[in-house]
Amino acid sequence: MKTTLCFVLAALCLTGRSGVFEKPAPYGENARASESDASLRKPGGPAKGFEDEGEPPVSEPTPGHQDAPTDFDIKASRSKETAEAVETGNFDEFSNVEFDIVKAAEEAGNAPLKKDGEPVNEFEDNDKSSSSEPAPNNKDISAAVDFKELDGLPSTKKGWYFNRNKTNDPPSAQTEIDLREYDAYYLGDANKKEVYLTFDEGYENGYTSAILDVLKEKKVPAAFFVTKSYIKENVELIKRMKNEGHIAGNHSVSHKSFPTLSPENIVSELERTAKAYKEATGEDMPPFFRPPMGEYSVKSLAATKAAGYKTIFWSYAYQDWLVNQQPGKEKALKVFKDNLHNGGVILLHAVSKSNAEALSEMIDYAHELGYKFKGLDALD
């Protein structure tokens, strides 16, 4: 099992699922954002996705860039580090991209179980309508979107990455696409001691209520990126998020790789999730989107913007999604302390017991250093 897991994760890393990037910006232990990077409020890259029913699709390998001779070495190193971290429980290394939680858990024999003993499908959608057809309720958005213009944009799939450092500086990130053009962000104001706390929610593992309790006690706002199935199955939690001042952001219906979808289907994914939110709360869904698996293209970013959404990447993440291989509270807290930085957009998975246990002390530590937690609506 360990050999198989190592091979699978290494393969995923090389295809972009591990957050390894196609064409890296300057990379190194002491990498820090340049002045131009720090002044940008929207540096970054887009998203990934899943099936309405069944297993998430496997991405095809992305051809390497001949003009980036260090790319192979970085990818090979990242593949080895990621596989070893999961196999040995060494969680010092980060995942730079939102990982396919359920798939990873299944490969490791850690799939979370439903009450009937069946593995959870994080992206199960009881709505049998195909995501290949535009949703009947998205006519207003569709009318405002120029799909013909979007069809002519580049659709090359990319995987989100950032360049971590050991100096608590805002990390640099991909430079191929100017995120400002597409209302996309991975970092807030790099000159201010402000951070943005975000959680990804594909399925409920029993910790979201406790997370909300801590946020309420500490008076800290957060964003929860939720799928349509999560909304349908956890209506009371969604209402609580809204009522307590948090953002429930859009994480799509089927968690498919958005660069593989047509602009019409992208709008459908966003609209159907937003419809579920409105049915649950009576209000419109906040216009923030996190790309499934951190995959994106110029076309998918442009389509998301045309649909009225801001795309939210991240400048902090670590391997917290394997529910039966948790790093523990102290490790989670140490990683947070070692990587806290100005303008940070923090990605945590709410399925993590370690995150739930460490969250209160994470917040206290940030406050002690003078950091303020801001809502995503403060990004500009």
DSSP string for 349-375: ETT-HHHHHHHHHHHHHHHHTT-EE--
The active-site residue out of 246, 251, 341, 349 is: 349
Buried b (16+ CB within 10 A) or exposed e, 129-140: eebeebbeebee
The active-site residue out of 200, 246, 255, 341 is: 200
Question: Is 92 among the catalytic positions?
Answer: no
Question: Is 200 among the catalytic positions?
Answer: yes
Sign of CA dihedral 347, 352, 357, 358: negative
Q: Cβ(58)–Cβ(129) under 8 Å? A: no
Nearest to residue 165, comparing CAs of 60, 32, 1, 278? Answer: 32
Helices (H), the chain: 2-15, 35-39, 71-88, 101-107, 139-144, 147-151, 208-218, 228-233, 235-243, 263-281, 298-306, 329-339, 353-368
Max alpha carbon distance in the chain (Å)?
54
Instruction: Provide the annotated active-site residues.
Output: 200, 349
